[in-house]
Amino acid sequence: MESIAATRRAGFIQAVSAYGLWGLLPVYFLLLAPTGPFEIVAGRIMFSLVFCAILLSATRRWTAVARIVRTPRLLFTMALAGAFIYVNWQVYIYAVLTDRVLAGALGYFINPIVTVLLGVLVLRERLRPLQWIAVSISFVAVLVLAIGYGEFPWISLALALSFGFYGLIKKRVGPSVDAVSGLALETAWLAPVAILQLALVATTTGLTIGTVSVAHTILIIGSGVITAVPLLLFAGAARRLPLISLGLIQYLAPLIQFAFGAFVLREAMPPERWVGFGLVWVALAVLTFDMVASGRVARRNVPLLT
């Protein structure tokens, strides 16, 4: 049996690997040029489904999928989760391919704030004073970015909201749906949409898979692996790490994306964008401090067993 230290160490490695891979996704999707966002998302759906089917067969876990299918509440909840993750994937890949990696990074920086708000609006949770401060600062940040750019930051908010609702759904189903079975059913629900998208691309601009190079084709097929592997690593980390630790590590992905967009792709960073990002980081610092402090209080209040 693993010791607590070994369990935490394994969880830390899994969490860093998951968020590190998510942080590098812009690089991966840019390598798929000249493939457009519709074909990439459709390929991601279909090859994720194939990869999950292989995993389920290798681990003999089809019974878990059958159990979910026989439970209408869980089955249709996975359809709703699939809808939100579809929006997230489509918007994110559009952002990457149109040189808006920073807008995508901002969306995932805002995501923890959205998660807190969803806890209030949907789960009827009460915000602590510092959480209210963090939420208020984040609203100011969005206003600064919107006014500075003269347009609504729809990409960032669409990503934050879609992933926030996706996370809420996954939290509600909890231990009833494991990571592989969940992704398999989500992509199965989305398969008809993916087929329609592929047909649309084929009859308009033309499909690129199999026409560019062998390496390009392998990368498109690999989009299923690059989608499923971080989710599996995250599931393992979630079982082994305290929520506070996992919450702190989640900032790794948007930090990598921000660095890539700002310093590698050289996206514009005018003063108002620095101010907007700075306010979001202040809000996250406040939220993190509150999370750590409340976690310590909770541990002190746990009665000792005698």
Q: What is the per-residue pLDDT for 300?
A: 53
Using alpha carbons, list the distances in angstroms from residue 231 to 168, 224, 297. Answer: 15, 11, 31
Q: Is residue 51 part of a domain?
A: yes
Task: For residue 301, tell me if it sits in a domain.
Answer: no
Within a domain: residue 48?
yes
Asked, for residue 56, whether it belongs to a domain, the answer is yes
* Cα dihedral 77→80→86→89 (10° resolution): -70
Q: Is 299 among the domain residues? A: no
In this structure, is residue 237 part of a structural domain?
yes
Long-range pairs for 264-272: beta carbons < 8 A, 24 or more residues apart: 265/99, 265/101, 267/99, 267/100, 267/101, 267/102, 269/102, 270/148, 271/148, 272/144, 272/145, 272/147, 272/148, 272/149
**Per-position pLDDT tens, the chain of length 306:** 457 778 888 888 988 999 999 999 999 999 999 999 999 999 999 999 999 999 999 999 999 999 999 999 999 999 999 999 999 999 999 999 999 999 999 999 988 888 888 877 887 777 788 888 888 898 898 888 888 777 788 999 999 999 889 988 887 887 788 889 999 999 999 999 999 999 999 999 999 999 999 999 999 999 999 988 998 888 788 777 776 677 778 888 999 999 999 999 999 888 888 998 999 899 888 888 887 777 665 555 444 443
> So what's the pLDDT on residue 250?
83
| 86 within domain boundaries | yes
Q: What is the pLDDT of residue 297?
A: 55
Q: Please give the biggest Cα pair distance in the chain.
A: 72
Output the pLDDT for position 295: 63
pLDDT at 147 (0 to 100): 80
306 found inside a domain: no
Q: What pTM value is reported for the model?
A: 0.87
Give the separation between CA 215 and CA 114, rounded to whole angstroms. 38
Residue 91's domain comprises: 4-294
Please give the tally of structural domains in the chain: 1
